[in-house]
Amino acid sequence: MALLINLFRDIIRRIEDELLLFSAATLLLVIFFNEYRYWIFALYLIAVIGFVIYKIFEQKRPDNKYIERFEQLLTTSSWRREIIDATEIFICETDNNYQVEIGNSTSSFTEPWTQVYSASHNSTRASVYLRVNANRIREMTFVYCDSARIFVPLPKTRTENGNRIFYWSRNSLDYKLGKVVGDFYIYESMEGIARMSNIRIEG
């Protein structure tokens, strides 16, 4: 619910200036063409509804400009780790409005790829949030493995010849995010974890 409220607040902030200008233009039309005022008001109402709907869907697009900008910054900028109010936050050095919040562990988690480590039964699922201007715009799932010494994005799965395959897509948002906020212990990188856990890296 909070995410939805923040979404509508952001939409209103973005369109209020444009609507104000549009409303002023409509008022002038009514003054100069008073005999057509009902048609003008009807067109104004239709245009406002259409404009608001367009802005809502523009904000909800999975490839909206915030996510695209996030993907760019994950690969081109440095990120610094801070603890703010007991919450782990990664802040983009290029644009401090872009941040990654590490959420608390939510539940125990086990899959074949997590069971290769010494603490094989001590894995948990956690949420990671992408934030812009302190608003959460995307939630992603990461996994702590090996008593929290490893922290990586949840791999995708598919079935090949009756076998379950775990994989990360090299160009995906979660893979790029993992390279920035992940912990790899002695395996040093996403690639090292992939080799140890038999996770494919594709693309």
Contact 132, 153 (CB under 8 A): no
Going residue by residue through the chain (203 aa), what tens digit of pLDDT does each one get? 544 444 455 545 555 556 666 677 777 777 888 888 788 778 878 877 877 676 566 555 544 789 999 999 999 999 999 999 999 999 999 999 999 999 988 888 899 999 999 877 789 999 999 999 989 999 999 999 998 999 999 999 999 999 999 999 999 999 999 999 999 999 999 999 999 999 999 98
pLDDT score at 25: 73
Our count of domains for the chain comes to 2
Contact 169, 156 (CB under 8 A): yes
Please tell me whether residue 172 adopts helix, strand or coil conformation: coil
Same domain, 54 and 144: no
Backbone angles phi, psi at 134, to 5 degrees: 75, 0
Q: 69: domain range?
A: 65-202
pLDDT score at 60: 53
Last-in-domain residue among 42, 60, 78: 60
Same domain, 82 and 144: yes
Contact 150, 187 (CB under 8 A): yes
Name the residue among 15, 12, 18, 7 with its Cα closest to residue 133.
Answer: 7
Same domain, 96 and 19: no
Same domain, 50 and 79: no
Last-in-domain residue among 60, 77, 105: 60
Last-in-domain residue among 32, 60, 88: 60
Same domain, 155 and 174: yes
Name the residue among 168, 109, 108, 100 with its Cα closest to residue 140.
Answer: 100
pTM of this structure:
0.68
